[in-house]
Structure 1
Amino acid sequence: MAPQSTKTTRRESPSDEPAPERPSTEPRDPSPAVTRSLRILGALERARGPLTLSEISREVGMAKSSASNICQALENEGMIDRVESGYRLGIRTAELGGAFASQFNQVREFFAAVEGDPVLRGHVVQIAMLDAPDALYLARHEGRRQRLGTPLGSRLPLIHCAVGNAMLLAMDDAEVGAVLGAADFTPTTEESVTSPEAVREKIGAGRGRGYAIDRGESFPGIHGVAVPLEPWQPGDPRMAVGVALAASEAGDAVVDELGAALLTLADALTNPLSRRP
């Protein structure tokens, strides 16, 4: 008779079993390298000046070696430049920004239309588009040597700047409510509105006169007058066109004259095929 085996089989306890994988709550990044590249470009945009490789890696939260590889690729494509003090945005980004703006008919027609207007040609005139809760500046006519207006690519809160207010004039109550719900009412200047009620009051006054006014709400001593632009074709973003001028020049008669000229300009920048007889 064969002796019975004393060997026992060890049974795994629940703690020994591999834990089931938990589904990730984060969406899968289809292209991590592209995402990291965009984060680096965003960091340089916010910095508005050169950043060292160490500063970039800290800003975007990646290893310095990874940041170095991506910066090299971006530099090769002209998206960033290497300078003595680090990296800065390259000329290719300016080309892309210009291409983005010029795809809209109103921007392409803007410069000739302003030059042809005897009132507006001497002023700083700008086009901005809606990127709620901000206005994003796309095009600029330099009418004077005075350093007025907002640099291209800049953003200002819709609730404060004239072009932003002008876009609000063209919105229905639901759209206005959505903008006000997302707005930051931290004042930019002593003149800035600080409540939804104040914005709605400005909208009512602007609709009554046909154009929006910014009396130093975005920059001290700088006033703005603006009107909304009707989208050229379906799918185009909301836009507005406005004038920036020194507060010392912004008397009621001048503002009224600029408002009337801007309304004429907006009519010239409307798609002729969309005009009703």
Structure 2
Amino acid sequence: MTTIEPATASPPRRSFADNLRGWLPKLVLAPSFAVILLFVYGFILWTVYLSFTNSRILPVYKLVGFDAYVRLWSQPNWYMAMKNLAIFGVLYIGICISIGLGLAILMDQRIRAEGILRPIFLYPMALSFVVTGTAWKWFLNPGLGIENTMHNLGWESFKFDWLVNPDMAIYTVVIAGVWQASGFVMAMFLAGLRGIDGEIIKAAQIDGAPLTKIYRRIIIPMLRPVFLSAFIVLAHMAIKSYDLVIALTGGGPGNATELPSTFMYSYTFTRSQMAVGSASAVMMLMGITAIIVPYLYSELREKR
């Protein structure tokens, strides 16, 4: 006697409209993904390849090893650029985080003018670095800006010539950069402060802890992820700073405000040393990678 197998229900066939809805987002994003793949990652690989060649005005695709890197680290201007980056980076990151944290704590006190002050502090970040550099170039110009204004007010002994002083010019870049980025860092810290559970603060206040100790012992340590995020963002901005320096000082006086980004541009497009310029770009990429990769690793490790 034969048994009849029960028929298994086959899955319903998807209509053309269902398939189209599934593929439509991929089709829409495909051109953008292809462009990013080519013009970002493709040109990164191309730059890395050129750094191992002897390219000058035009690309040369014959590999010569690490010759461009040897020439790069034998350039006095490169050491000046690295020194200026260290000065600018340390002061820029440190001052921005300090001012941003202070402003965020001020805003966290629920002051009445918060709705007015917050956009004012954030406004500089809406400007391009070219606008910021040009504006501060006018402010700091001894013949036009602060020094000239003070002289016109009768304070003839006032002197503020940092913009034309080779020993102090790099600090004018710090001033302009801090002015633009501090409000953005304030917004990051303010978001972190508003995300802290208020019950923790109330419990500390019930125990009699003063407000300063609550911030120092409880709140600020809880902002560790915000500190790390702010450091990553500011370090990335410091390494790739170019337009701010060009608009403010042009890399001068002399090469007093030379940074790796301005060095890379000048050696690639002005001095016709494409291989050396590519090598400097690769060194900048390695610096950014050394900062971002540990951060991403720590974030993924915490999620696991």
Q: Which has the higher contact order (CA 8 A, sep 6+)?
A: 2
Higher strand share: 1
Higher helix share: 2
**Is TM more than 0.5 here?**
no
Normalised to the residue count of structure 1, the TM-score between the two structures is 0.21
Normalised to the residue count of structure 2, the TM-score between the two structures is 0.20
